[in-house]
């Protein structure tokens, strides 16, 4: 029962929005900032809007019945999901009025970047996962980065890089699992363009970089938390037969972004 409920939560990208809030709280602890409730609600709504719009655009490009569970869900429920997005945009527009000015200004620039991505992503599919990972990282980082008093030389740059690479690995692993279904639907990603062998090499290479950063990044507890996220993603990638069933890879893979909340709870 709980698995069935969570599957719908995942299909609706609600867990992605919650994961973004957890990640934002993680960075707020690192940068010594307290994010206001308005900022967290706005972040969650914004991430949900972006991911849902991206899925709707992908689903709309599939001419026949979609092969992936996510694209099929967005195909079948296209109209009411569009209405939900419109409602979420209106609510988000009201909430941002109460967000702190530096955060609001940073959010405007980020929104411009998102708009550019949504307009051009079909023309640069090879970089799709990289764009999304970068925008996601900036989105969860900016609410704290915009208002922190921490000196720039003290910013946890390596932890941010480690987080961004984790987000990229997450997306590439998902694309790798979906590669055959995406090929049938005519959906394009880094994996469908680069091929299976090259994609595996890139993914394993990114894992190696992330785990190597553990030796250099600080604070240690934060980088260990990110390493734990990558251990879960690595297990998923190494056990494709098990995690491909019923899209388990996606359910657990999105849930890894709840892990940073542990750091917030212990160190905030």
pLDDT at residue 265, rounded to an integer: 95
pLDDT at residue 79, rounded to an integer: 93
pLDDT at residue 66, rounded to an integer: 81
pTM of the model: 0.93
| 60 pLDDT more than 80 | yes
pLDDT at residue 67, rounded to an integer: 79
Asked if the structure places residue 47 within a domain, the reply is: yes
pLDDT at residue 99, rounded to an integer: 87
Domain count, the chain: 1
Cis upstream peptide for 219 (omega within 30°): yes
Note whether 38 and 98 are within 8 A (CB): yes
Asked if the structure places residue 231 within a domain, the reply is: yes
Asked if the structure places residue 245 within a domain, the reply is: yes
pLDDT at residue 107, rounded to an integer: 81
Classify residue 123 as exposed, middle or buried by CB count within 10 Å of its CB (0-12, 13-18, 19+).
exposed
Helix orientation angle between 14-30 and 2-11, rounded to the nearest 10 degrees: 80
Distances from the Cα of 132 to the Cα of 97, 221, 228, 243, angstroms: 26, 26, 22, 23
| 83 pLDDT more than 80 | yes
* Average pLDDT, integer, range 120-126: 71
pLDDT at residue 82, rounded to an integer: 95
Asked if the structure places residue 1 within a domain, the reply is: no
pLDDT at residue 106, rounded to an integer: 82
pLDDT at residue 232, rounded to an integer: 98
| 136 pLDDT more than 80 | yes
Q: Count how many Cα atoms sit within 13 Å of the Cα of residue 249 in the half-sphere of its side chain.
A: 26
Instruction: Write out pLDDT tens, residues 172-193.
Output: 999 999 999 888 888 888 999 9
* Average pLDDT, integer, range 80-85: 96
Distance CA(156)–CA(223), nearest Å, equals 10
Asked if the structure places residue 4 within a domain, the reply is: no
Predicted confidence band of residue 116 (pLDDT cuts 50, 70, 90): confident
pLDDT at residue 2, rounded to an integer: 72
pLDDT at residue 223, rounded to an integer: 96
| 31 pLDDT more than 90 | yes
151-155, 229-233, 235-239, range with the lowest pLDDT: 151-155
Asked if the structure places residue 6 within a domain, the reply is: no
> How many CB atoms are located within 10 Å of the residue 106 CB?
20
Asked if the structure places residue 2 within a domain, the reply is: no
Asked if the structure places residue 263 within a domain, the reply is: yes
Domain that holds residue 79: 13-267
CATH of the domain at 236: 1.10.600
- Computed over every residue of the chain, the mean pLDDT equals 91
């Amino acid at each position: 029962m709980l698995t069935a409920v969570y599957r719908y939560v995942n299909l609706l990208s609600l867990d992605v929005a919650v994961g973004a809030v957890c990640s934002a709280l993680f960075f707020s602890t690192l940068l010594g900032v307290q994010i206001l409730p308005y900022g967290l609600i706005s972040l969650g709504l914004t991430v949900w809007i972006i991911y849902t719009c991206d899925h709707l655009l992908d689903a709309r490009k599939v001419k026949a019945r979609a092969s992936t569970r996510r694209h099929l869900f967005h195909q079948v429920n296209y109209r009411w999901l569009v209405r939900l997005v419109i409602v979420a945009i209106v609510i988000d527009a009201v909430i941002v009025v109460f967000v702190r000015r530096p955060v609001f200004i940073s959010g405007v620039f980020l929104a411009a970047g998102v708009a550019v991505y949504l307009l051009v992503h079909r023309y640069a599919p090879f970089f799709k996962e990289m764009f999304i990972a970068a925008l996601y990282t900036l989105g969860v980082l900016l609410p704290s980065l915009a208002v922190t008093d921490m000196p720039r030389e003290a910013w946890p740059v390596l932890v941010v890089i480690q987080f961004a690479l984790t987000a990229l690995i997450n997306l590439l692993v998902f694309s790798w699992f979906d590669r055959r279904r995406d090929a049938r639907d005519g959906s394009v990603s880094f994996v469908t363009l680069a091929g299976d062998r090259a994609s595996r090499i890139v993914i394993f290479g990114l894992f190696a970089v992330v785990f190597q950063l553990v030796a250099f990044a600080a604070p240690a507890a934060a980088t260990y938390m990110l390493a734990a996220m990558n251990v879960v993603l690595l297990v998923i990638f190494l056990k494709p037969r098990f995690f491909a069933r019923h899209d388990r890879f996606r359910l657990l893979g999105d849930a890894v972004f709840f892990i940073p909340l542990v750091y917030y709870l212990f160190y905030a």
